[in-house]
Structures are given as structure tokens and as C-alpha cells.
Amino acid sequence: MSSDAWTLPTAQIAIEAAAILAFAVSGLIEAARKKLDPVGVCIVVGLSAFGGGTLRDILLDRRPFFWVEHSWWLWMLLGLSVLAMFFLQARHFAPTERAVQWPDAVGLGLFTAGGTELAMATGMPAIVAVLMGMMTAVFGGVLRDIVCNEIPYAFRDHRPYAVCSFAGGWVVIAADWLGLAGWVGLLAGATLATALRAMALVFDWRLPRWRTD
């Protein structure tokens, strides 16, 4: 794609699409683990894929929602959910969960960058834009786990997750302050958040736990 075609709106759509796929798979694994029926699987997958972005858009009063404007995504995720119920077996859970950590890290970075950029475009202050990016990246998984009656993974894993998103959001802000092209900030922010999460997984970085003794 030429530099003229790679506009900021095009980059945002591509980023949102890639992140949706990454988080949809994580929702699918959790729904399968809980042995949900087809309706439950579709809802959990949808919350994982669209929950964070939808919450961001509600708070920013932004319409239409991504999944309304691009409704073919609903058909794709419905098909993915139904097919997975036939082919995904219990023995696949552990290796699939390990494998999905990496697309999940990519989705974290992509949603962070896209959400921060969208919030900036509405004139939000820098700290609000960063928090909106973090919400976009993290809260789909939070909603998924709440529906599945689990303490959200982002809060109990102890390996940096939301912190990686927070750092990536500030890179998007810094790129804007420096006057760089919008897609450069998106790429840099997504790369940093993804790289930090990947390093947390590889090196088993841990955040401090609350101590009661």
C-alpha cells in the first residue's frame, strides 16, 4: 500500500480489525472452557472482541459503533463461534491458550494505539485519551471474565498488562506532540505495548501483590 493510501482512518480500521480477531479467539477459549451453549459462546466472543471499544465509544459519545458500521464482523464472529464448537476439544485448550497469549499481546497493543488515537481526535486531554486507549484494550477481557464468573485475568495475572497499555498510549500522545504522522504514532504505540507485554510473558515479570501480613 502506498503512503498516500495509508491514511490515518485506514490505519485505524486495520488496527481495530486485527485486534478484534485476537481478542475474539481469547473469548472463544474462555467460553469453551466454561462449556457454554451456543448463545453463551457468541456473547462471550462478542464481549471480548467489541466490549472495550464499545465502552470507549459510549463514553466518547461516538457513533456508530464499530460493529454497527461494519456489521459483517458480526457474521464472521458468529461463524467462528459455531465452527469452534464442533472442532475445539478439551485437549486443545492448554496449547491454544498458550498460543493465544501472543495474538492477545498484539491485540493489546493495537487496541491501545487505536483507542488512544480516536480519543485524541475528539479533543480529549492527553491523560483521558491514554485511559480511553487502555479501556479499549483491557475491558473487553474484563467483561468476558465477569460474564464467565471469573476474577478478570488482567487483574489476577500479576504480569503487566494494563501497565503495558498505559505506556503504549503515552507513545501515541508523544508522537502527536512531536507532529509526526498519525500512523507513525499508531505503529509506535502498538509496538511498545505489544513488546512490553511479550517481554512480561517471556521473562515472567510480576507486579507487586497486595500483602496483608
Per residue of the chain (213 residues), give pLDDT as tens. Answer: 334 444 556 666 676 677 788 788 878 888 887 888 888 888 999 998 899 889 999 998 888 888 888 888 899 888 888 887 777 665 555 555 565 677 778 888 888 998 999 999 889 999 999 999 999 999 988 998 899 888 888 888 788 889 999 999 999 999 999 988 888 888 899 999 999 999 998 888 888 777 776
Residue 117, all three cell numbers: 488515537
CB 30 within 8 A of CB 148: yes
> 25 and 100 in contact (C-beta within 8 Å)?
yes
Closest by CA position to 154, among listed 115, 190, 200, 90: 200
Whether the CB-CB separation of 105 and 198 falls below 8 Å is answered with yes
Angle in degrees, CA 113, 207, 136, rounded to 5: 25
Find out whether 147 and 172 touch, Cβ atoms under 8 Å.
no
pTM of the model: 0.80
Rounded to an integer, what distance in angstroms lies between the CA atom of residue 116 and that of residue 45?
23
